[in-house]
Amino acid sequence: MDRAVWKQIHEHARRDYPAECCGIVAEGTDGTCRVHPCENIQDRLHARNPKEHPRTSKNAYRMDDLEVHRIFSETEGAGGRVVAFYHSHVDCGAYFSEEDRQAAMFMEQPAFPDVVYLVVSVVGGAVRDAAGFAWDEGTETFATTALEGYDPAIR
């Protein structure tokens, strides 16, 4: 992922603050990456059923399953692949929370074992940090991974 991709992710995180942003990064057959900002539907889920969805977009995110399916279908149909999911953490650090881990799992296995999960920390509306997490077969957990192309000066 190059500087332009990171800049788009940072802009999305700032734009959606104080809500968590979320999206997908896809790589085309030519190796270039494209950012797909997604709508965080967490507030709609919370409004519909606060008991089942107690968290709001300030501390949780949920992408619409149909939107995710469309992005995957279009990407793979064109010969590309999804390389990352991203979301922001509001007024706290860039870490992989237990909720993030649970959302990335399906039947005790990673739903997308080859995809990197990116977390961007946004504090007071400004991007503070970012971190990446990838599935580690050996430890059977999500481990911190290097952020290709990330420049902390991108704000």
pLDDT tens for the chain, 155 residues long, are 888 999 999 999 999 999 999 999 999 999 999 999 999 999 999 999 999 999 999 999 999 999 999 999 999 999 999 999 999 999 999 999 989 999 899 888 899 999 999 999 999 999 999 999 999 998 989 999 988 777 777 76
Peptide bond into 18 cis (omega under 30): yes
* Burial class, 83, CB count within 10 angstroms (exposed 0-12 / middle 13-18 / buried 19+): buried
Order of strands across the sheet that contains 126-136: 33-38, 22-27, 81-90, 116-123, 126-136, 141-145
pLDDT of residue 155: 62
On the CB side of 57, CA atoms within 13 Å amount to 19
First to last CA, the chain: 16
